[in-house]
Structure 1
Amino acid sequence: MFDSILVPTDGSPGSERAFEAAATLARTHDATVHVLSVVDEHGPTDDWDYDGDSPAEAFIESQADHVDTEGLSITAAVREGVVHDAVLDYANETGIDLIIMGTHGRTGVRRFLLGSVTEKVVRLADVPVLSVKADAEPGTISFDDILLPTDGSSGAEAAIEPTGTLASETDATVHLVSVVDTRSLGIDVGSTVIVDELESVATDAVEDGSDQLTKMGVKAVETAITHGIPYQAILDAIEDTDADLVVIGTHGRTGVDRYLLGSVAEKLVRTSPVPVMTVRASDVGEES
């Protein structure tokens, strides 16, 4: 599934962590890594005035001391344009399966604010996007424990296949969690009945997800039902399971709605202490 991985770079720590993650996954999946440097069409024109290596090639060379790239297939590319548009266009044109980006970049006249670009790519990309924290410690990227939140919706279903692909290749443990959101319920008989119904839906969601993952060859699947505010409960689950990665699905959207990422996924991308992979469902017209 992950045969071609794209890392947009601005040379920032976020880009470096993204490249580390790409190298780790590429080695596991025998994938090609594309490193893309986008020269902002609204930025200084002298960004094009480089000698020797292109910005993307120079970035790859700069990572050689702490990222093992031996044996990997790596392609360097440079584009000009609006940064997030150029990233999405390159992904579409080259058949990219996964985009990996840092959540923050350097600011200043000659640097892109990669944080805002990442959010736009997360919202608009048709392929999974893996967001990696810029302040993550170098060399700590691993995928031994994967947290997969699910509510049984089509958006959540979209995250099962990439999770299974990752876990089956790396022998990772998948922690399936479904959060029962009881914020709006009072403590009465009617609410108790509703909670029971919500818990039943949550149980079905994790059991169905577990069955699908097992069929994909995932050997270790753990399930849990929890209560609370969804994104906070997921953050707690990251700590409880010692997760290395969160994979979360979002609903397909069209038009203006496509710019609105589901609130839970968006909050996780911004606040999760570990990388978050967002997977947009192919169906459209639903709300996250």
Structure 2
Amino acid sequence: MFKHILVATDLRPRSEEILCGLGSMDPGLVGRITLLHVLDERSNGHPLDEQKQEQLAMQKARLESRGFSVDVAVKKGVPFDLIVHEAQVGEASLVVIGRGDSPRWKSRIMGETVLRVLELSPCPVLVCHGEGAQNPLFGDVVLGIDFSNESHHALQTLKKLAKGAPGAIRKVTLLHVHEQRNIDLLLKLVNREQIDQIIALERERLEEFVESLKAAGIPDVSVRMRTGKPVDEILADVEENGPTLAVLGAQGQGRSEMYRIGTTAFRVAQMATCGVLVIPLSRPALPF
């Protein structure tokens, strides 16, 4: 399923989220793990002291005790820059990172490293959450679907994962949110019956996605539709139904050539009570 996972650890308390998130994965689905710690050159990048070295060795041992093949790398640089670089040159199939433990995290500002990795990573990024993760990571997945190219790419990626590791993904819920703002605007132009017809067509298309996921080997696939603001409804759905993982396509927009994660994926990665897998469209190699 994942030939090479790059795990970014800063050896702070947030690292426990990462270890628990990885611990809920089946080692048989992972080729190898690189446990990367970056010495931040902006704060002199001092070498690890003895305590930090022991902590890193313990993290490696914990993953190995679960059956993973683990290498350790300690390098100096700007954390987000080096993580993205290592993912690129190491041909990582997944980057795993913690969401951060800053008190600003749940307000409006995401830790710089997490945000920039989400924006720039050439491969999917798993933002881990929760020290108590016990159930298999892919046991109960909610996939956000809005019919965009990005969400379709996320759907195709999930199908590919299912085909590559039969039985690993047990349950998927396709979650589609109708924006209340859009419905209110449509009601000024058409009647409610016409809107209901549009929604019925969307459900038909979602049911087609359901069948394609079942054909890929996922036994339990269903659809949920909600109305409201996408961020709020996805977070509420996660809170109410308790999935093990939320999957979203990165789909920001902007005039800048810098990559964008998108408001919905950004806020869900911040606030969800489960791990969040953000899947980007193909991105060109960065000029490192």
Relative to the length of structure 1, the TM-score reads 0.82
Matched, 1:230 2:230: yes
In structure 1, C-alpha distance between the alignment counterparts of 2:193 and 2:13, rounded to whole Å: 50
In structure 1, C-alpha distance between the alignment counterparts of 2:7 and 2:132, rounded to whole Å: 16
Give matches, 1:110-149, under 5 Å.
115-133=111-129, 136-140=130-134, 142-143=136-137, 144-149=139-144
Counterpart secondary structure, 1:183: helix
Matched, 1:89 2:88: no
Instruction: Report the Cα offset of residue 231 of structure 1.
Output: 1.2
Instruction: Report the Cα offset of residue 283 of structure 1.
Output: 7.8
In structure 2, C-alpha distance between the alignment counterparts of 1:114 and 1:11, rounded to whole Å: 18
Instruction: Report the Cα offset of residue 122 of structure 1.
Output: 0.7
More displaced, 232-241 or 78-87?
A: 232-241
Indicate the residue corresponding to 2:244 in structure 1. 244
In structure 2, C-alpha distance between the alignment counterparts of 1:189 and 1:255, rounded to whole Å: 31
Counterpart secondary structure, 1:122: helix
| Contact 2:2/2:31 (8 A) holds in 1 | yes
Gaps of 5+ in 1: 108-112
Matched, 1:159 2:168: no
Structure 1 segments (4+ residues) deviating >4 Å = 62-65, 186-189, 252-255
| CA RMSD, 1 decimal | 3.0
Indicate the residue corresponding to 2:106 in structure 1. none
Indicate the residue corresponding to 1:110 in structure 2. none
Indicate the residue corresponding to 2:179 in structure 1. 181
In structure 1, C-alpha distance between the alignment counterparts of 2:190 and 2:21, rounded to whole Å: 48
Matched, 1:17 2:17: yes
Structure 2 vs 1, CA of residues 70 and 188 (structure 1 numbering), >3 Å: closer, same or farther?
closer
Relative to the length of structure 2, the TM-score reads 0.82
Instruction: Report the Cα offset of residue 41 of structure 1.
Output: 1.2
Instruction: Report the Cα offset of residue 3 of structure 1.
Output: 1.5
Amino acid at match of 1:182: Q
Structure 2 vs 1, CA of residues 168 and 162 (structure 1 numbering), >3 Å: closer, same or farther?
farther
Amino acid at match of 1:48: P
Residues 251-280 of structure 1 show CA distances to partners (whole Å, capped at 9, x for unaligned) of 387982534321111110111111111001
Structure 2 vs 1, CA of residues 63 and 126 (structure 1 numbering), >3 Å: closer, same or farther?
closer
Instruction: Report the Cα offset of residue 49 of structure 1.
Output: 5.8
Total equivalences in the alignment: 273
In structure 2, C-alpha distance between the alignment counterparts of 1:114 and 1:233, rounded to whole Å: 20
Instruction: Report the Cα offset of residue 197 of structure 1.
Output: 5.4
Amino acid at match of 1:256: S
| Contact 2:96/2:127 (8 A) holds in 1 | yes
Residues 152-201 of structure 1 show CA distances to partners (whole Å, capped at 9, x for unaligned) of 21110121134332684424210111111122415557252563355145
| Contact 1:152/1:205 (8 A) holds in 2 | no
